[in-house]
Amino acid sequence: MKANIQAQTDNGIVVRVVDNADIEHRVEIDGTGEIASHQCSAYAGEERARSPRENQHVDQVNRYSKYYVDRKRGLNTLRPYSKTDRITHPERLAAATLIIGAMSPETLKSHFGACYRQIASAYADVEPPVSPPDREPDADCHRVQQDVYLALNDDQWRLLGDVLVELDGLAALATALDREPNRNDDDLFDRLEAALPGEPDGYEGDAAGDDSENRFLRGLSPLRVHWQAAEGKRVTYGGGSDPGAESAPDARLQMTVQNDRIETVQSFQRHLIHHLRCQVRDCYVGMGFSPPKGVRVRGTGIDAFTDKYEHHDGYQRYHDPDAIIDWTRQAPAQHPDW
């Protein structure tokens, strides 16, 4: 998968992309960040006339085109977790993973306590913050979703994300959580602040005097809980305000309640970091790349891709913790600035 910008006008940007089958595409992205046209002489123009593998290539080309333009021109063309793009910015996601992973258990519980209690209630005597729908009181909690918004400026999240992805920092983070689950986070956030240029975007100081993760975490959305009932899936929402209603989330937790028991904050944090690493993996797979080494992990990540891995022959079973994965099947990840 290779790309280059051929033209840029007031109406949009034209990108030339060569996909993993060595087929050339011409993609035009309009001023709103949407695909205005997609031309490829080797594939049929209509989705229904293409093979599943050809549709997979087209989807990957569209996603990578938007990501490429976003990184090269800073035009916010990628729509995180949208129905069309599915993926999000892998660098923003990696930065969110680091900040969440750097939190002490006490700090994590103060921010993600509602999500933790909702999931832990399936395994332990914990009162969930969101109850089943009134008409389905015996419904099972299937998935818990929550948006995460960072207080990082563009230079900060790009630097953090690039370093984490290129240097396998997320794998090291997971190892650190296993070795020292009860660490203090003050020094970690002091070092993080010293390493990042400029002031965080959206952080105005904390009147309570807490000078740690609040420098980098702008806020969280209310919980969105998916219930599995006899008649199908139900969805209900928790209360509270959404701090990012006017902007896209940097990460969206989509944690599935599985057989792995989450009974402590420490185990919840380890599962949360693994889940986010799986999401970073999905971002690269969704653009047609083999994921970097630090995110070559198996498990559920972005919900839309879990469904593809289960039902689409063109993808490996990345969501299956017992699957055998050929991590070299697709081309190595290419940074737009390389």
Check residue 163 and give its pLDDT. Answer: 75
Q: How many CA atoms lie within 13 A of 255 on its CB side?
A: 30
Check residue 208 and give its pLDDT. Answer: 38
Query: Two tokens at 325?
Result: 């994965």
Mean pLDDT of 99-127: 90
- Within 10 A of 118 (CB to CB), how many other CB atoms are there? 22
Helix (H, G, I), strand (E, B) or coil at 108: helix
pLDDT tens per residue, range 12-48? 999 999 998 999 999 999 988 899 999 999 999 888 8
pLDDT of 297 > 90? The answer is yes
pLDDT tens per residue, range 166-217? 667 788 888 888 888 887 776 777 777 777 766 655 544 443 344 455 678 8
pLDDT of 332 > 80? The answer is no
Query: pLDDT: is 186 or 322 the higher one?
Result: 322
For residue 328, what pLDDT band results from cuts at 50, 70 and 90? Answer: confident
Check residue 10 and give its pLDDT. Answer: 83
Q: Name which of 224, 285, 214, 215 is nearest 252 in CA terms.
A: 224
- Within 10 A of 156 (CB to CB), how many other CB atoms are there? 22
Lowest mean pLDDT among 17-21, 70-74, 182-186, 240-244: 240-244
Check residue 108 and give its pLDDT. Answer: 93
Mean pLDDT of 249-267: 86
Q: What is the mean pLDDT of the chain?
A: 85
Q: How many CA atoms lie within 13 A of 183 on its CB side?
A: 16
Query: Two tokens at 54?
Result: 């050809």
pLDDT of 243 > 90? The answer is no
Mean pLDDT of 285-309: 93
Lowest mean pLDDT among 49-63, 162-176, 317-331: 162-176
pLDDT tens per residue, range 122-140? 888 888 898 888 878 888 8
